């Protein structure tokens, strides 16, 4: 999938209607709570990307999620 499709997918996972921008801070994304983090962790794991909960806690921005996804979910360019 491409980056835009990935962003749509994580919006769906966190149950968010508004758009997500890469530069957004995760702490400013209202829907990004511990449950959303778990769901995303499970999603990454399904794509074979092994992320520890500790790494996840250290993510700062939506771009950090995108960077993780480059390891096997996003294929573009």
Partner 1 sequence: MAKVCFKNGRISAIVTTVGDRKVNIDDEKDRFGLDEKSLKRLKKTIGLESRYVVSEGICTSDLCFQSAKSIFKNKNLDKNEIEALIFVTQSPDFRAPSTAIIMQDRLGLSKDTLAYDINLGCSGFIYGLFTAYSFIASGLKKVLLLVGDVASSYTGKFDKTLTPLLGDAGSAILLENVEGLKSYFVLHSDGSGYQHLIIPGGACRKPYSRLHGNKGEISENGIAADETSMYMNGGEIFNFSIKVVPELFSELFELSGADEHNIDYFVLHQPNKYILKNIQKRLGLNEDTIPSRTASVFGNQNSASIPGTINGFLYDEFSNSRLRNVFAGFGIGLSWGACYLETDSIYAPRVEKLNKDVLDRSI
Residues that bind partner 1 (CB under 8 A): 15, 33-35, 37-39, 41-42, 45-46, 52-53, 56-57
Please name every residue paired with 25 in a beta bridge, in sequence order, or none if there are none. 61
- Smallest gap from residue 3 Cβ to partner 1 (A): 25
Nearer residue to partner 1 within complex by CB, 24 or 41:
41
CA distances from 27 to 8, 23, 34, 49, 71 (A): 19, 12, 11, 23, 23
Nearer residue to partner 1 within complex by CB, 2 or 55:
55
- Smallest gap from residue 77 Cβ to partner 1 (A): 30
CA distance 36 to 40: 6
């Amino acid at each position: 999938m491409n980056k835009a499709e990935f962003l749509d997918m994580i919006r769906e996972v966190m149950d968010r209607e508004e758009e997500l921008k890469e530069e957004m801070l995760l702490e400013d994304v209202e829907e990004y709570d511990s449950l959303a983090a778990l769901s995303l962790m499970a999603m990454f794991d399904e794509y074979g990307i092994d992320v520890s909960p500790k790494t996840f806690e250290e993510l700062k921005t939506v771009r950090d999620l995108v960077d993780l996804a480059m390891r096997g979910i996003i294929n573009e360019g």
